[in-house]
Amino acid sequence: MATNEQYRICQSTGLRVYKSAENLIKANAVVAVVFLAIGGLFGLMVALTRWKAVHLLPADWFYLVLTAHGINVLIVWIIFFEMAVLYFASAVLLGCRLATPRWAWAGFVLMLIGAIMTNVAVLQGDSSVMFTSYVPLKAAPSFYLGIILFAVGALVGCFVFFGTLVLAKQERTYEGSVPLVTFGATVAAIIAVFTIASGAIILIPTFLWSFGYISHIDTLMYRTIWWGLGHSSQQINVAAHISIWYLISAVVLGAKPLSEKVSRGAFLLYILFLQLASAHHLLVDPGISSEWKVFNTSYAIYLAVLGSMIHGLTVPGQIEAAQRKKGFNNGLFEWLRKAPWGNPAFSGMFISLILFGFLGGISGVVMGVEQINLIIHNTIYVPGHFHATVVAGTTLAFMAVTYLLVPLIFQRELVLPGWAKVQPYVFGIGVAGISLFMMGAGTLGVPRRHWDISQADAILPYDFPGAANLMMGLNGLSALLAGVGGIMFVVVVVGSILFGKKIESSSEVAKTDPAAEVATKYGSEEHPSVPGTLVLVAVFFISFVLYYYVNWKYLAEIWPLR
Amino acid sequence: MSESEKDTNENEEKIPVMQQLLDNPFLLLFLGVTIPTVFYLIWGIMEIVTIPIAK
């Protein structure tokens, strides 16, 4: 089909960028960053309240702010940014116009109205039901309606993405299979469809219940179906940020996948099994059989974990292969030492990869074991785990790719390049601290979602060990550091968009940068040699096994078998 | 057409089953929605609705 839609050719990458896709990517990314700033501020207030020496907020404000933090960062920031990623991975990487841009704008507006509506409901003070909004806690109807509108908007965005894949195939803008990054984004969109459907199944009746049209919603039914939304929404992130790891290593280093087949096979394991991890949240709930729990959290999910471990090998592996081709062949790790650590896109991506694998991945698998889960269930260990996956993994990867999007999509040079250079390190160290110290405190029994660690007003008070209080203090300090990193990111990105030097573009055909071309084509590295990566993988496995058995030992000490 | 050219053409036309699967986003969408719906949602809901009601 012929089209008169305007496009430009990016002079640095040679990618063809259609105006409709560009505007939607810009709008979604900008709104995402605004909600990141809001949600991050709420998160800092949560951490400072849980720090015993500071104890910033009163109880009612704590639960309000905790609700706002969860909604804004776990849902709004991430899904707005994922919409930008979907439009980028389809329209830009396939060199195609966006299918039905008007529907995409309608979806964007619905998401924005929904996000604002839910935020207003929370800030009015009668919807402090936290991210999970478990019944019988009842929020204002506008709280549920806002989430439903947001989800419908996101679903529209997913189908615009699928439509763009069809359009690109019809118009033959690519040959053979879609590029790996686009395939990963497809996986994210597929998981999003299941996620949103689960949310609709439970939130529409809950919305009616909040009005009084439905008299009762079963709590276990709510929890089971809601986690199809709550946890799967975080699995969208995993697929999206791993696609971004592949994208950044391709664009920055020209790294080709070690094996397209293996990486796509790993993504296929996500499609088949990753969403079953939702069952982790129900491991101690009565009424559901062990067969259901064990199948969904162990046998099936281990296949998805296998997918993650494959990506954990192939992403650093393709970086090593690309670096070795450039001549960094001395010893096991010259490729890593001489990687572009001053490029925030690369450093952010690599820190995201390490923290996601070592902290988020290992802790996630260990806590998914039904028996070990009993040690840490509903303790602050759980937020420790998901701050490693969602903040260190996803958010840092999204920050990293933003440093590529600003010149490519916004056509602006980065302002404050020195800040940009150190920002991933500041944010990464801060988030690693948050994650580790929360997991440490959780292991000592500190509950999650509790306003007062000293439990001063409890009928049966309990004193946590001094180490737990120390860790919650260190968590507060780490949150401050991560907050500084977050502010640096917002200042650099907003400053670049508003005041950055304009980069000229053209509608003329430019020679595609070979590095960027790798991201737009199907193809594997030929005869790669990755000994350094294999050593890193061995270190990962040893850490994994040790941590796994330490937890079994810990469990055995709690209930000695005599 | 020589025998070797025939073979080459046949090889080019054969698309492996796995590649056909991975190149079909709508088949993947079907699998990605059906599998968790059956194993997580439907199985879980069936267990909950078969819990005896307290008397």
Arithmetic mean of pLDDT, A529-553: 95
pLDDT at A458: 81
For the question of an ipTM over 0.90, the answer is yes
Cα A196–chain centre separation: 16
Cβ distance A190 to B32 less than 8 Å, yes or no, reads yes
Q: Name the pLDDT band for A560 (thresholds 50, 70, 90).
A: low
pLDDT at A299: 75
B22 interfaces chain A, CB cutoff of 8 Å: yes
Residue among A375, A212, A414 nearest A284 (CA): A375
pLDDT at A135: 94
Phi, psi of B13 (to 5 degrees): -75, -30
pLDDT in tens, A250-288: 999 999 999 999 999 999 999 999 999 899 899 999 889
Whole-structure pTM value: 0.94
pLDDT at A457: 77
pLDDT in tens, A481-509: 999 999 999 999 999 999 999 987 665 55
Of B26 and B11, the structure prediction assigns the larger pLDDT to B26
pLDDT in tens, B26-35: 999 999 999 9
Residue among A280, A281, A287, A135 nearest B44 (CA): A287
Report the residue of A158, A190, A202 to disrupt the B interface, i.e. the one with the largest count of B CBs within 10 Å. A190
**Is residue A245 a contact partner of residue A314, using CB atoms and an 8 Å limit?**
no
- Residue A529 per-residue DSSP state: -
Q: What gap in Å lies between CA A181 and CA A188, rounded to an integer?
A: 11
Q: Looking at the complex, report in whole angstroms how far the Cα of residue A221 sits from the nearest Cα belonging to chain B.
A: 7
pLDDT at A1: 43
Cβ distance B32 to A272 less than 8 Å, yes or no, reads yes
Q: Name the pLDDT band for A297 (thresholds 50, 70, 90).
A: confident
Rg of chain A's alpha carbons, rounded to an integer? 23
A88 has pLDDT over 70: yes
**Is residue A141 a contact partner of residue A207, using CB atoms and an 8 Å limit?**
yes
Arithmetic mean of pLDDT, A110-134: 96
Residues with Cβ within 8 Å of residue A25, at least 6 apart in sequence: A84, A87, A88, A92, A405, A409
pLDDT at A87: 97
Q: Looking at the complex, report in whole angstroms how far the Cα of residue A85 sits from the nearest Cα belonging to chain B.
A: 17
φ/ψ bin of A527: left (φ > 0), alpha (ψ from -120 to 50), beta (otherwise):
left
Q: What gap in Å lies between CA A226 and CA A202, rounded to an integer?
A: 6
The encoded tokens of residue A558 equal: 């709690």
Report the residue of B19, B22, B30 to disrupt the A interface, i.e. the one with the largest count of A CBs within 10 Å. B22
Cβ distance A228 to B41 less than 8 Å, yes or no, reads yes
φ/ψ bin of A411: left (φ > 0), alpha (ψ from -120 to 50), beta (otherwise):
left
Q: What gap in Å lies between CA A313 and CA A353, rounded to an integer?
A: 10
| Closest residue of chain A to B25, computed from CA coordinates | A186
Arithmetic mean of pLDDT, A383-393: 96
Cβ distance A190 to B29 less than 8 Å, yes or no, reads yes
Report the range of poorest mean pLDDT among A289-293, A368-372, A399-403. Answer: A368-372
The encoded tokens of residue A557 equal: 């000490």
pLDDT at A329: 93
Residue among A251, A28, A246, A71 nearest A158 (CA): A28
Distances (CA, A) of A551 to A369, A374, A384: 10, 11, 16
Q: Is the previous residue joined to B16 through a cis bond, with omega within 30 degrees of 0?
A: no
A526 has pLDDT over 90: no
What is the percent of chain A with per-residue pLDDT over 90, rounded to a whole number? 81
Q: What gap in Å lies between CA A20 and CA A26, rounded to an integer?
A: 10
Cβ distance A279 to B40 less than 8 Å, yes or no, reads yes
The encoded tokens of residue A70 equal: 């969860």
Cβ distance A276 to B32 less than 8 Å, yes or no, reads no
Contacts of A228 in chain B (CB under 8 A): 36, 40-41
Residue among A409, A420, A359 nearest A386 (CA): A359
Report the range of poorest mean pLDDT among A133-137, A154-158, A438-442, B14-18. Answer: B14-18
Cβ distance B40 to A273 less than 8 Å, yes or no, reads no
Cβ distance A221 to B48 less than 8 Å, yes or no, reads yes
A249 has pLDDT over 80: yes
Q: Is A539 exposed, middle or buried (0-12, 13-18, 19+ CB in 10 A)?
A: exposed
Q: What gap in Å lies between CA A131 and CA A93, rounded to an integer?
A: 34
User: DSSP per residue over A437-503, as a string?
Assistant: HHHHHHHTTPBSS-S-TT-TT-SS--PPPHHHHHHHHHHHHHHHHHHHHHHHHHHHHHHHHHHSPBP
Most confident of A12-16, A451-455, A529-533: A529-533
Cβ distance A194 to B22 less than 8 Å, yes or no, reads no
Q: Name the pLDDT band for B12 (thresholds 50, 70, 90).
A: low
B32 interfaces chain A, CB cutoff of 8 Å: yes
pLDDT at B16: 84
Q: What gap in Å lies between CA A25 and CA A274, rounded to an integer?
A: 27
Query: Burial code of A51-90, b = ≥16 C-beta within 10 A, e = fewer?
Result: bbeebbbeeeebbbbbbbbbbbbbbbbbbbbbbbbbbbbb
A289 has pLDDT over 60: yes
| Closest residue of chain A to B51, computed from CA coordinates | A287
Residue among A340, A341, A323 nearest A332 (CA): A323
Contacts of B41 in chain A (CB under 8 A): 198, 201, 224-225, 228
Q: Looking at the complex, report in whole angstroms how far the Cα of residue A546 sits from the nearest Cα belonging to chain B.
A: 30
Report the residue of A223, A236, A271 to disrupt the B interface, i.e. the one with the largest count of B CBs within 10 Å. A271
A292 interfaces chain B, CB cutoff of 8 Å: yes
What is the percent of chain A with per-residue pLDDT over 70, rounded to a whole number? 96
A2 has pLDDT over 50: no
pLDDT at B1: 53
| Closest residue of chain B to A201, computed from CA coordinates | B41
B9 interfaces chain A, CB cutoff of 8 Å: no
pLDDT at B10: 56
Q: To the nearest whole number, what is the mean pLDDT of chain A?
A: 92
Cβ distance B36 to A276 less than 8 Å, yes or no, reads yes
A285 interfaces chain B, CB cutoff of 8 Å: no
Q: What gap in Å lies between CA A534 and CA A540, rounded to an integer?
A: 10
Contacts of B43 in chain A (CB under 8 A): 292
